Structure 1
Amino acid sequence: MPRDTIAYMRNVFLIGLSGSGKSTIARLLAQRLQRPLFDLDLLIEQKAGMSIPAIFAQHGERYFRECERVVLAEAVQQQAGAVIATGGGIVSEAANRALMSEHGVRVFLYVEPEVALQRLLAQHRTAIERGEQPETRPLLEGSDPLARLQNLLALRHQWYAEAEHTCHVQGKSVEQITSEIIAMLVSSGALEGAEPLVRHIQAGSGYDAIVEWGGLGRLPQYLKQVQASSRVFLFTDSHLAPLYADTLLQNLTGAGFEPHLYVVPAGEESKSMAQLGAIYDWLVEQRAERRETLIAFGGGVIGDLIGFVAASYLRGVPLVQVPTSLLAQVDSAIGGKTGINHPRGKNLIGAFYHPRLVLADPAVLLTLPVRPRTEGWAEIVKYGMIVDAELFSLLEAHQDSLREFSPPPVALLSQIIARSIDLKASVIESDEREQGLRAILNYGHTIGHALESVAGYGEWLHGEAVSLGMVAAAAIAYEAGMFSAEEMARQNALLAALGLPTEYRGDVRAEDILAKIQLDKKVVGKRVRWIMPRRIGEVEITEMPDELVTRVVTAFFGQKKGSQGE
């Protein structure tokens, strides 16, 4: 369905008991999504010219409910895609429930009455301590406010349960709850952007890489297009599962699939022989068959690991990649490289195995913490450095909005991800198994991989290590007279502007990095094939003098430990 290039979102109504945090969560949700915010209680007070307790005292509940109905109707007509915090009793009127169902998505913030009461009392005490007039709540009046809350929940629960989504809020921070709601909206298809951008990749049997804002909600339709099996095996990690698993499983089941979920411990450590064996065991227990599809929903670790599982289980089963990190969307999910780490080196065990489909939904990035989102820019800068000076300039021109991500640069982000996929696809189509040209995709990776291994997987995120690897590689090229100081400075400035490290501060020894480089996959005849920049947009594959490499690497990794920006 066509939309403009600005993200489209249905209205989101937060419903639930008083004390569930609707107003607070709505403010952060609207801020994160850069959408209009309406708090119905505030609108009612503005319209009536008095507080809600005064409305109840002077006019009664029936008058209040009429005011509530009117401001709800006005809010949904003002602007689509708003975040709307409602009153606890809005669901008691059938007309309100019908209006919310017609004009948006309802999220029920579930909280136990005991917890809701504690929150309301805490708010009351805080206002007094600040010297403010505390809000008079009818709920807190009387001898047993807890019983009143319990009775209200029992009365309204059937109406709250009509909500499209339920979010349990106890024991979670406002930030966690907000991310969970965003994940529900993304995975259910409540967020939409422009038409999907599709790149057909001529590798393996050929497959489409789709970039679509909000496309995760249409995963079942895409699976049907590639004739996926009715029984599918969904793999994700322990960070993503609490956010996305329930909604994804519901959507798949509702579309006629029979999904089975496996959750991998989050982190680079899971790219291991032990985890690989555990997954094989589980698939055997499930009696997974050769035609049944594996879905890798996660970042690079999940994509690499499950890709290798798909390549090797029963000598190959269908694979669908749904990358959730920026790095995975533009790099690791594209091209068919799969594998696990060995204690002596990164990705030393693996296979080339292409998926049936790649679905990259940039909206998923809204739920990522800053650091995992930021690392992906390293691979995109890399594409600019090796083959696309125009992409590099585009990143320079928009570096602030890309780094801050507020508001989320929907159209631009989709364009950049699609362009990066196209660039990588063009390279791998000419050299599917890395016999020649494809090696240029490893710019910054020789030193980056060595750093990841020596420091211990997980100490540095892959994109952070690649950023440092590009800085060091550019320094080697500059010292060799291959690369200008001006363009080296541009590269490093862009990496820094996008939030990536450009100076090493840590404990690894240069000699350990140099030794690890000799295990790199690009070593031929014990000589390292370096990817060296000539100018922005052009690199070459070459050997470099050992003395030069040793000198630059020793200087780069010889700095004392500390934190960037101190």
Structure 2
Amino acid sequence: MRHVFLIGLSGSGKSTVGRILAQRLERPLLDVDALIEQEYGERIPAIFARHGEAHFRSLEARILAQAIQQPVDAIIVTGGGIVVRPENRSLMAQSGVRVFLHVDPQVSLTRLQAQHAREQQQGQVLEIRPLLSGVDPLANLQQMLMARDAWYREAEYICFTQEKPAEQVALEIMTMLGESPSFAHVPPITRPVHVGTGYDAVVDWGGLVRLADYLKQLQLPPRVFIVTDSNIHNLYIPTLLPQLTAAGFEPQVYTIPAGEGSKSQQQLFALYDWLLEQHAERREALVALGGGVVGDLVGFVAATYLRGVPLIQIPTSLLAQVDSAIGGKTGINHPRGKNLIGAFYHPRLVLADPSTLLSLPARSRIEGWAEIVKYGIILDAELFDLLEAHANALRDFSQPPVALLCRIIARCIDIKVKVIEEDEREQGQRAILNYGHTFAHALENASGYGEWLHGEAVSLGMVVAAELAWEAGLFEQQDLMRQNRLLAALGLPIAYTGTVHAQDILAAMQLDKKVVGKRVRWIMPRQIGKVEITTMPDELVERVITTFMGEK
């Protein structure tokens, strides 16, 4: 039996997501609380008030035991306290898979209060929910989550629901379960990369669950060293480890703090220490599971530990899938500049699974569109047109256009691969990939790596670069406006709001990797689909940046 049990706090969206899952997967839907009310003839709050919690928990356990006898695999929605009793947890583990819908208690409270208000407006007879009674219902929910969190996390899958519509949460769960029939027609797209010893970059929706198969094709030793971050760990590691173990691998996991601050010497040496403690050998692979920070850091570790060990890149952010995981650039930040310490080191495989984007908060997903717009500006006017035509669907993501998304990611990979195959070590043409990055890296450095996500900074950098090109007579104003409209349509910033001063940006730009003879070389757009590398007059650069940042 493979029932799917949805568990989590009240207000986590279990009922709504359960309905969508049941409809999409054509399974029966069973709601334990609704079954209790149907059999008992009273609402849950009334049962609590009349008979107490102990009586209710016994009733709940009996109804759950009946529900799992359903002869067809069902979606079973549970009450928030179903995990309190060990026999319930054991029964669910034996009868199917559990999905923990993780929600912040404040969000849960807001949803419960809104539901209470709707029922009141509809004239329903209201019983006061125990969760909403008392002087501090938020504290009640927080204490409840703290008490039950370890039991919830026994679930086979954890789905973070923050900032996600119910449709997106359901799609994420379907992908986790490997039950996404509507996506089955999207075959993997493989792009061979002819640099170094060569490797494949693969775009495969749901490919993460097939990681063991990809690793076997590379004929790697059984021990693999997976490095991820604190955000990604809970999303994928609990299910990935059993899959790899069942396939004969011996996965070891190291988790770094999420955020740009981990691209540091401190984390670099912590990873060296871990590998040495594990006696990691030269043929054993390092797997970078995460966004650009994880990929850059782990790539540099792979390049330098024992003078080079196999590297597998599994980018989980849109930005990493189309850019940072491709091309062999690895490195860490220095207090004086971004990516100033690093190496060119190519992986054995890049596996981009776009289904991982379903788990991202909207802001973290949206930043990736900046790098994709960049490709359209520098080399591919048709890609730019495609983004314009589908901007709303790509930004919304409540029902992601899967085939289109895979196609766009694969196209961006192809563009970047063509460039690096001609100029692997950025001696010439590859520099065009840094369109928008001169200002972006300076802004990230001057603001302390945290105020702006990388893609947001790149978006602002492209606005600045296009303005420079227009004022220099290189770029038509209508193309400048098209670029900025598309960035805004995809949810990216096009106007600066912050505390960094123009002089800080101008000083930080002198540490840019494209500086030659103390002159910054700018990537300047000539038309959509074409750029050139050139220096710009200092007076013009200073004026444009000062104006852009709202200074006189």
TM-score, reference length from structure 2: 0.79
2:14 paired residue among 2, 15, 25: 25
How far residue 168 of structure 1 moved from its aligned partner, in angstroms, is 7.9
What residue in structure 1 maps to residue 377 of structure 2?
385
Alignment of 1:243-322 (within 5 A): 243-322=235-314
Q: In the superposition, relative to structure 1, how do residues 437 and 268 fare at CA in structure 2: closer, same or farther (>3 Å)?
A: same
1:342 paired residue among 317, 334, 352: 334
How far residue 455 of structure 1 moved from its aligned partner, in angstroms, is 0.9
- In structure 2, how many angstroms separate the alpha carbons of the residues matched to 1:237 and 1:197? 27
- In structure 1, how many angstroms separate the alpha carbons of the residues matched to 2:12 and 2:550? 51
Question: 2:466 touches 2:524 (CA, 8 Å); kept in 1?
Answer: yes
What residue in structure 2 maps to residue 533 of structure 1?
525
Q: In the superposition, relative to structure 1, how do residues 23 and 13 fare at CA in structure 2: closer, same or farther (>3 Å)?
A: farther
Partner SS for 1:503: coil
Q: Does 1:13 align with 2:4?
A: yes
Q: Which amino acid aligns with 1:304?
A: D
Q: In the superposition, relative to structure 1, how do residues 34 and 540 fare at CA in structure 2: closer, same or farther (>3 Å)?
A: farther
What residue in structure 2 maps to residue 39 of structure 1?
29
The unaligned stretches of length 5 or more in structure 1 are 1-9, 77-82, 112-118, 138-159, 561-566
Question: 2:15 touches 2:31 (CA, 8 Å); kept in 1?
Answer: no
Q: Note the aligned Cα RMSD (angstroms).
A: 4.3
Alignment of 1:3-402 (within 5 A): 13-14=4-5, 21=10, 24-28=13-17, 35=24, 39-41=29-31, 51-54=38-41, 85=77, 106-107=97-98, 130=120, 132-133=124-125, 165-166=155-156, 186=175, 189-191=178-180, 193=184, 194-402=186-394
Question: 2:201 touches 2:352 (CA, 8 Å); kept in 1?
Answer: yes
- In structure 2, how many angstroms separate the alpha carbons of the residues matched to 1:362 and 1:333? 13
Greater mean deviation of Cα atoms: 521-530 or 35-44: 35-44
Partner SS for 2:426: coil
What residue in structure 2 maps to residue 442 of structure 1?
434
Question: 2:212 touches 2:244 (CA, 8 Å); kept in 1?
Answer: yes
Partner SS for 1:261: strand
- In structure 2, how many angstroms separate the alpha carbons of the residues matched to 1:353 and 1:423? 19
Aligned residue-pair number: 494
What residue in structure 2 maps to residue 140 of structure 1?
none
Question: 2:28 touches 2:72 (CA, 8 Å); kept in 1?
Answer: no
The unaligned stretches of length 5 or more in structure 2 are 43-58, 103-108, 130-150
- In structure 2, how many angstroms separate the alpha carbons of the residues matched to 1:292 and 1:407? 39
What residue in structure 2 maps to residue 150 of structure 1?
none
Q: Which amino acid aligns with 1:354?
A: H
Question: 2:196 touches 2:346 (CA, 8 Å); kept in 1?
Answer: yes
Question: 1:484 touches 1:535 (CA, 8 Å); kept in 2?
Answer: yes
Question: 2:12 touches 2:161 (CA, 8 Å); kept in 1?
Answer: no
1:484 paired residue among 473, 476, 486: 476
- Show CA shifts across 1:30-66 (max 9, x none): 6699946863349998xxxx944359xxxx99xx999
Partner SS for 1:494: helix
Q: In the superposition, relative to structure 1, how do residues 225 and 333 fare at CA in structure 2: closer, same or farther (>3 Å)?
A: same
Partner SS for 2:314: strand
Give 4+ residue runs of structure 1 displaced > 3 Å after superposition.
Answer: 19-24, 28-39, 41-45, 64-70, 72-76, 83-89, 108-111, 125-137, 163-169, 172-193
- In structure 1, how many angstroms separate the alpha carbons of the residues matched to 2:275 and 2:98? 35
Question: 2:32 touches 2:76 (CA, 8 Å); kept in 1?
Answer: no
Greater mean deviation of Cα atoms: 173-182 or 248-257: 173-182
- Show CA shifts across 1:448-477 (max 9, x none): 111100111111110000000000000000
Q: In the superposition, relative to structure 1, how do residues 31 and 345 fare at CA in structure 2: closer, same or farther (>3 Å)?
A: farther
What residue in structure 2 maps to residue 520 of structure 1?
512
Q: Which amino acid aligns with 1:27?
A: T
- Show CA shifts across 1:252-288 (max 9, x none): 1111111111000111011011111111111111111
Question: 1:211 touches 1:359 (CA, 8 Å); kept in 2?
Answer: yes
Q: In the superposition, relative to structure 1, how do residues 390 and 39 fare at CA in structure 2: closer, same or farther (>3 Å)?
A: same
Q: In the superposition, relative to structure 1, how do residues 312 and 51 fare at CA in structure 2: closer, same or farther (>3 Å)?
A: same
- Show CA shifts across 1:84-139 (max 9, x none): 537989xx9xxx999x97xxx6326599xxxxxxx9xx99x9699957446899xx
Q: In the superposition, relative to structure 1, how do residues 360 and 218 fare at CA in structure 2: closer, same or farther (>3 Å)?
A: same
Question: 2:3 touches 2:73 (CA, 8 Å); kept in 1?
Answer: no
Q: In the superposition, relative to structure 1, how do residues 556 and 373 fare at CA in structure 2: closer, same or farther (>3 Å)?
A: same
What residue in structure 1 maps to residue 51 of structure 2?
none
Greater mean deviation of Cα atoms: 486-495 or 186-195: 186-195
How far residue 537 of structure 1 moved from its aligned partner, in angstroms, is 0.5
How far residue 189 of structure 1 moved from its aligned partner, in angstroms, is 3.9
User: Percent identity over the alignment?
Assistant: 58
Q: In the superposition, relative to structure 1, how do residues 186 and 250 fare at CA in structure 2: closer, same or farther (>3 Å)?
A: farther
Partner SS for 2:231: coil
How far residue 514 of structure 1 moved from its aligned partner, in angstroms, is 1.1
Q: In the superposition, relative to structure 1, how do residues 265 and 66 fare at CA in structure 2: closer, same or farther (>3 Å)?
A: closer
Partner SS for 2:220: coil
Q: In the superposition, relative to structure 1, how do residues 432 and 127 fare at CA in structure 2: closer, same or farther (>3 Å)?
A: closer
What residue in structure 2 maps to residue 426 of structure 1?
418
Q: Which amino acid aligns with 1:516?
A: A
Q: In the superposition, relative to structure 1, how do residues 227 and 22 fare at CA in structure 2: closer, same or farther (>3 Å)?
A: farther
- In structure 2, how many angstroms separate the alpha carbons of the residues matched to 1:32 and 1:375? 29
- In structure 2, how many angstroms separate the alpha carbons of the residues matched to 1:436 and 1:110? 49
Question: 1:331 touches 1:379 (CA, 8 Å); kept in 2?
Answer: yes
- In structure 1, how many angstroms separate the alpha carbons of the residues matched to 2:291 and 2:328? 15
- In structure 2, how many angstroms separate the alpha carbons of the residues matched to 1:435 and 1:496? 33
Q: In the superposition, relative to structure 1, how do residues 53 and 22 fare at CA in structure 2: closer, same or farther (>3 Å)?
A: farther
- In structure 1, how many angstroms separate the alpha carbons of the residues matched to 2:203 and 2:195? 18
Partner SS for 1:530: strand
How far residue 27 of structure 1 moved from its aligned partner, in angstroms, is 1.4
Question: 1:294 touches 1:319 (CA, 8 Å); kept in 2?
Answer: yes
- In structure 1, how many angstroms separate the alpha carbons of the residues matched to 2:29 and 2:11? 9
Q: Which amino acid aligns with 1:395?
A: L
- In structure 1, how many angstroms separate the alpha carbons of the residues matched to 2:12 and 2:533? 57
What residue in structure 2 maps to residue 542 of structure 1?
534
- In structure 2, how many angstroms separate the alpha carbons of the residues matched to 1:369 and 1:174? 7
How far residue 248 of structure 1 moved from its aligned partner, in angstroms, is 1.3
How far residue 336 of structure 1 moved from its aligned partner, in angstroms, is 0.2
Question: 1:268 touches 1:301 (CA, 8 Å); kept in 2?
Answer: yes
